[in-house]
Amino acid sequence: MAKIIAVANQKGGVGKTTTCVNLAASLAATKRKVLLIDLDPQGNATMGSGIDKYDVKRTAYDLLVDETPFKEVVVNSSGKYDLIAANGDVTAAEIKLMEFFAREVRLKNALAPVKDDYDFIFIDCPPSLNMLTVNAMSAADSVLVPMQCEYYALEGLTALMDTISKLAAMVNPGLGIEGILRTMYDPRNRLANDVSDQLKQHFGDKVYRTVIPRNVRLAEAPSFGAPAMYYDKSSAGAKAYLALAGEIIRRSEQKATA
């Protein structure tokens, strides 16, 4: 059965989509069966996966609103993982969902028949708390939080933790933090090191040992419609996400045997 991980942070520009795309590709490269669901109307994860968001026939809108069968919505990506795409249509899903009974669990119900087909399912959440994010959190087993090591990011993390605990109380009692990922990390920056130390003191082993460095190749890869490991596998960014994939696999195996 798949481990379903929502990748979320209410603060934008923290590497959320970059993490979804590159982590999905890295885990797929280890022969894991991976699904990435793009729930962000900007469709950046879709474009970064080599799928033209303007040309895609079906999106997360069809899955959530029209209850289109999963197999008609899913597509293959350039990263060798399955993808449910997003584009501007998904903005309309936010509004349409308000008309439905049990609107918070539409995604959870849609994934129920296919959970056994995957090892990992990642959900790229919008950078705001809306009905799409609520659906992601309802469907997920846990939340992976990418964040930059800067002062305002700590404030944002406090707000996100509050959101997660409220959603756990309302719609998903089992929801917790999968891990906190330090992104765009520059070890020469004193503030980054200070914030990193605070994170480790407060969250302990929830903070991944792997850090994602600032890396030009990571930033360039989406414009070529490919994860970093297929754009430049020798880049520091590609290697970091492969290391993160290994860390996530080890953690999952340890939990399974615990």
CA distances from 196 to 8, 165, 204, 224, 253 (A): 19, 23, 11, 32, 26
In angstroms, rounded to a whole number, what is the distance separating the alpha carbons of residues 235 and 108?
36
pTM of the model: 0.96
Q: Domain tally for the chain? A: 1
Distance CA 36, CA 85 (A): 8
Give me the CATH number covering residue 231: 3.40.50.300
User: What digits encode the pLDDT tens for the residues 166-187?
Assistant: 888 888 999 999 999 999 999 8
Please give the Cα distance from 238 to 226 (Å, whole number): 11
Q: pLDDT, tens digit, for every residue of 39-58? A: 999 999 999 999 999 999 99
